[in-house]
Amino acid sequence: AQSVSQHNHHVILSEAASLELGCNYSYGGTVNLFWYVQYPGQHLQLLLKYFSGDPLVKGIKGFEAEFIKSKFSFNLRKPSVQWSDTAEYFCAVNTYYNQGGKLIFGQGTELSVKP
Amino acid sequence: GAGVSQSPSNKVTEKGKDVELRCDPISGHTALYWYRQSLGQGLEFLIYFQGNSAPDKSGLPSDRFSAERTGGSVSTLTIQRTQQEDSAVYLCASSSGQGAGELFFGEGSRLTVL
């Protein structure tokens, strides 16, 4: 069965620090990969997604993620975080064979950015 | 409406009672999902509807949980004989179902079982 693992449960950074959140998945076939973000008091929203092509994908608000197939990883990065990036971040995967099929989420990483 | 609508936003019930949670997806979206969000547990997949296909119920935790989707639109998640461990936020999402695209989430229904 597919699974998604996020290594960090809670990350605390100061503003302007660089961010990298780990995400690994377990599925040997073709996958679609996503990062979702949930700001305090708001609903989940898409940050970025990877379907195919360039393994380095850019999303909103300066976030990017790199798909490394050999490592089954899709880590999220941002060079310089802001206080407004405080949120919970979820990595998710679904398998290519069933486009639009169920999305499996990781446990989430809570990011706290100190001003 | 413009987004995914869920009701009630908050529900407090006594152990053993049945509850129904409603989801109204974005108009035209063929795919509808239910997830459960518990503290420290992330998002747990419950059930997925895609058009007229049989739903994927593989995530339902027990036979006390069921869901239906009427007319390919509104969905109801029913929890029978609620237990305290059912307390969580129940999230609904919809998507166009094209190319494993973006899911649009509702605000969720927070269920508290006393």
**Tens of pLDDT along B4-51?**
999 999 999 999 999 999 999 999 898 899 999 987 778 999 999 988
The percentage of chain A sitting over the pLDDT mark of 90, rounded to a whole number, equals 74
Do B99 and A98 contact (CB within 8 A), yes or no?
no
Chain A CB contacts of B108 below 8 Å: 43
Do B16 and B84 contact (CB within 8 A), yes or no?
no
Using a CB–CB cutoff of 8 Å, tell me whether B25 touches chain A: no
**pLDDT classification of B1: cutoffs 50, 70, 90:** low
The closest alpha carbon to B91, from B114, B111, B73, belongs to B111
- Rounded Cα distance between B14 and A109, Å, is 32
- The nearest CA of chain B is from the CA of A33 a distance in Å of 10
Tell me the residue type at A45: Q
Tell me B42's DSSP state: E
Do A85 and A62 contact (CB within 8 A), yes or no?
no
Interchain CB distance below 8 Å, A102 and B59: yes
CB-nearest partner of A108 from B42, B91, B105? B42
**Tens of pLDDT along B63-89?**
999 999 988 799 999 999 999 999 999
Using a CB–CB cutoff of 8 Å, tell me whether B93 touches chain A: yes
